[in-house]
Amino acid sequence: MKHLLIITALLAAPLAQAQKWVADSPAGKAYISKNKNGVTTIPNGRFLTPYGQQHTVAPHPYGLTVSADGKLAVTANSGTSPLSISILSQVLEQQASIRQIPEGNSTDKGILEACFMGLAIAPDNQTMYVAGGQANKIFLFDPQTGDSKGSIACEAQDNGLDYSHGYIGDMTLSKDGSTLYAVDQIGFRLLVIDTKTKKILHNVPTGRYPFGVCLSPNEKRIYVANVGVFEYKPFTDLDKKNLKETGHKWPSTRYGSKEMIEGIPSEGVPPLGDPNAPEAFSVWSYDLNGPKPQIKSKIKTGILVGQLVEDFPAVGGSSPNSLAATDDYVFVSNGNNDCVSVIDMKKDTIVENIFLNPEPRLGQLRGIIPFGLTVSPDQNRLYVAESGINAVAVIDIPTKQVVGHIPVGWFPSKVKTSPDGTKLIVTNAKGLGSGPNGGRDHTLGPEGSYIGSLMKGTVSVMDIPTDRELKELTLKVKDNNFRFTDVALKKSEHPIPLYPGASESPIKHIVFISKENRTYDEVFGQHEGGNGDSTIARYGLRKDFSNKANTLSLKGVDVMPNHAALARQFAISDNFYCDSDVSADGHRWLVNTYPNEWVETGTTAAYGGQRSMRSDSKAPGNLAFYGSTGSIYPEDYNEAGSIWDHLERNKKDFFNFGFGVEMAANYSDSTMKHIGELYLVNYPLPAPLYDKSSRIFPTYNMSIPDQFRADVFMDEFKEKWIGEDKTLPSVLTLMLPNDHGTRERAHAGFPFTESYMADNDLALGRTIEFLSHTPYWKNMLIVVTEDDPQGGVDHVDAHRSILMTISPYVKRNYVGHDHYSFGSIFKTFWHILGIPYLNQYDATATSLSDLLTATPDFTPYRAVPIDTRLFDPQKALDPFDEEFDWKAFSESEEMDRTETMQKRRMEDDENLRKKNKLKKKQK
């Protein structure tokens, strides 16, 4: 409790000390590229030079097991289609063969209903066990033939607990193959299974959201890592038959508050308790000597919530996720703390935290994201997958010192050694990235153009390097991730200081605008001076298109004319990339929260249709499956928090319109013009966000036009900040999400998919026009981007997206070519505001300084009208009782579900294939 209360009064960090270096993206001005035989550049501008031999498997291999004889390795590819397992035979040989179950690019539910991370192979190599995720089963296969051998049902009723709905994840098998141990993430249980009878022997309680499990070498103890924080529950005052009247109009409580801990019974808010409770962010050990496993200890790992880190209290907890054991120690990877906790097995206490950061200049900035780990057979070395820097850390166990790092693929997840200790096997969840997914020179493959299907995983197999080789490999890891330049403090007139505190910026107000799901090419592919492909600029100028039924069509229409006009008047980048793949992780990145292993594994499973809430579930963890909602949750709070915590503790005022308040398990319909949804579950909001967000601005709801959002924003802006003795905050955040697109709604003013783009375009143009006519314009920077690129195609990379900068201090009609990512945006904010970096991603990205100039041009922006045949603003606004004065101006019904997005992409891909066949016939 003591630690928790500190959060509610975050300490102010001192102004940034003068530093002697700046760090930039290693990519420089190069566009990112996917190179199987050389250097690959990923969206954050870092390089991949994976060591050893690389094997390609299906997307997102978050599970890995190796047979006792080392002849087989199996990955669980628990992401978007194809959902599968991959069997690598003779994995330690040069000519390893790969079998995928099921084969092809679509999941055959008759073979494998679901899978999630957990895998094991029997000692005789005759049976393979696959965790079935939400199927609440464990599937059995013959690893030699790939044939199904049935399944083990994990449904149970035990001691008054109902396990009919479960989510089976990590598992481990006894050496003799007789006993299988598996965790049920949402059932908060450890299953003990007799492999001969295929029956559950015991259902043993665990902490919240058990994620990792391991046996001690002597098999007398078993350990479970619990990655969850809270057990979320619905509000108690809801009427399920009348949610519209009984749903809550605002999230339940501030994170860290007394109300969060104790609940508000009079308002139907159940208590969440202390995030430092034994059930949260912990490792539980069990004694296996008796007839049933008995809990022996509950160990808190890493840094506690509220514990001081340098000069601020930790916002997020440790996120212990994976385990490995020697005869004396249990090692636990703490995903949020960039360290491995060492548990003395005899004392069941933490004896040391081994921090992994290879770059001392970054100090205690986090971003390594330790995930899977394994111990060498001789128990002298520990290997840790460092997902954030695409490497494997090598730790000397006797001295507990990090002795080096090995470069691997993008987002390494699991790591194993060969039985003889000479080889290392690593799964890389994102492999080498996506590459391009469209364009005049692009050939569509069988996986289509959807970004989730393009992110094929890889398996790195390598000889374990000598200590001498390890030194060179460690330097390579640093060079792949960080590019430092020594600097001296010099007076500069540039509006973006060289580093925080280097100089004072004339920019005093930042407006950060997020949109939804578009790529660079589909909006700016025609723009002169940019590296675009006009053949896929479907939302550009002079476009011809029809509705889905081909009953309406338009020719030569400008779909997003304000985007084009803003690009000509101000500056854009053609080398900007979303770190995110889809909306779920995109909304984390948008608030400068990098997704940890809990988010990454859950996101890919959810977008593969394998992880969702169930209304009939009695599982205590059911409501922690957040899906694609636009918020951050306590399980994925970074150690230093998000943009909201960072601004608050550095005494920078902000106000939010729509960011981060779209929670899971909500209720929404087309009549809810304010907020856009009602809240049904007691998820807390970050305390600063709770206090400084608009209570009437509509969050993500595609039934609400962006015109209405623009109206609400402008009205509230005028009320709060226009007039004497009123001051605009340092940062405003604003969401305009309708370029996401959804089904056509001609009756509501949206006769085409392109109508949503026009709505978004007009709202953005009006918003910029309004802001550029306020007294704050002369000291303002507006940054516009997308939360993710999953809705479109691009000829450079599927992650390339939109970055627009608008300000008197922005270069005119300029296209920048420096590499940028989400970290670049936040780095620029911190340099302008004179406050420290928040994490390794903003600290090592390239700032947006190339897009700005020291010579201001205060000319305001004049918005461009939309063709009313494409989008009729008044028709869209009529249901909201809002007047739209076109003359004066001219002087969600659907959430971001992966099945909708993939269906749309599949339809687009099929249409493209038909067009290509027609062109070939015509030739």
Q: What is the DSSP string of 670-696?
A: TT--SSS-EE-B---B-HHHHHSB-SS
Q: What's the distance, CA 429 to chain centroid?
A: 13
**Residue 109: what pLDDT?**
55
More confident of the two residues 469 and 37: 469
pLDDT band at 13 (very low <50, low <70, confident <90, very high): very low
**Residue 267 in 3-state DSSP?**
helix
**Domain segments of the chain as ranges:** 502-594+638-831+840-895
Q: What is the pLDDT of residue 811?
A: 98
Q: CA of 178: how far to CAs of 120, 200, 457, 584, in Å?
A: 12, 12, 31, 39
Q: Would you state the pLDDT for residue 673?
A: 78
In this prediction, residue 16 carries a pLDDT of 41
Q: Evaluate if residue 357 carries a pLDDT over 80.
A: yes
532-556 exposure pattern, b = at least 16 Cβ within 10 A, e = fewer: bbeebbbbbbebebebeeeeeebee
Determine which of 431-445, 484-498, 500-514, 853-867 has the lowest per-residue pLDDT on average.
484-498
Number of residues written out for the chain: 923
Average confidence (pLDDT) over 125-135:
95
Average pLDDT, the chain: 92
Q: What pLDDT shows up at residue 81?
A: 58
Query: pLDDT tens digit string along 662-692?
Result: 988 888 877 777 778 899 999 999 999 999 9
Residues 856-873: what's their mean pLDDT?
96
3-state secondary structure labels for all residues of 357-392: CCCHHHCCCCCCCEEEEEECCCCCEEEEEECCCCEE
Percent of the chain with pLDDT over 90: 82
CA distance to 101, 182, 213, 908, per residue, from 189 (Å): 28, 9, 11, 43
User: What is the distance between the alpha carbons of residues 392 and 464, in angstroms, rounded to a whole number?
Assistant: 11
User: Which residues, 6+ apart, have CB-to-CB distance to 911 below 8 Å?
Assistant: none
Output 115 or 911, whichever has higher pLDDT.
115
* More confident site: 558 or 887: 558
Helix (H) or strand (E) holding 228: none
Between 757 and 83, residue with greater pLDDT: 757
Task: Report helix, strand or coil for 769.
Answer: helix
Tell me the pTM: 0.94
Amino acid 884: pLDDT: 65
Q: What is the pLDDT of residue 18?
A: 56
Residue 891: band (very low, low, confident or very high) from pLDDT cuts 50, 70, 90:
low
Kindly tell me if the per-residue pLDDT of 596 is higher than 90: yes
Under the banding of pLDDT at 50, 70 and 90, the label for residue 38 is very high
Q: What is the mean pLDDT of residues 230-249?
A: 94
pLDDT at site 722: 97
Residues 6+ apart with CB under 8 A from 350: 299, 300, 301, 341, 342, 343, 344
**Confidence (pLDDT) at 568:** 98
What pLDDT was estimated at residue 920? 59
Angle between helices 753-772 and 561-569 (to 10 degrees): 40
| Torsion angles phi and psi, residue 84, rounded to 5 | -165, 175
Report phi then psi at 874, rounded to 5: -65, -40
CATH of domain 502-594+638-831+840-895: 3.40.720.10
pLDDT in tens, 641-666: 999 999 999 999 999 999 999 988 88
Angstrom distance (rounded) from CA 849 to CA 159: 62
Q: Which of 77-91, 166-180, 227-241 has the lowest mean pLDDT?
A: 77-91
pLDDT classification of 612: cutoffs 50, 70, 90? confident
d(CA 384, CA 381): 10
Reported as a single tens digit per residue, the pLDDT across 187-211 is: 999 999 999 999 999 999 999 999 9
Question: Which two structure tokens, joined as six digits, stand for 752?
Answer: 């085409």
DSSP string, 307-350: -EETTEE-SS---EEEEEE-SSEEEEEETTTTEEEEEETTTTEE
Local confidence band at 923 (pLDDT 50, 70, 90 cut-offs)? low
Q: Is the pLDDT of residue 79 over 70?
A: no
Is the distance from CB of 76 to CB of 119 less than 8 angstroms?
yes
Q: Tell me the CA distances in angstroms from 502 to 506, 623, 626, 789, one per residue in order.
A: 13, 46, 41, 34
Higher-confidence residue of 752 and 113: namely 752
**Helix-, strand-, coil-residue percentages of the chain, each rounded to 5:** 20, 30, 50
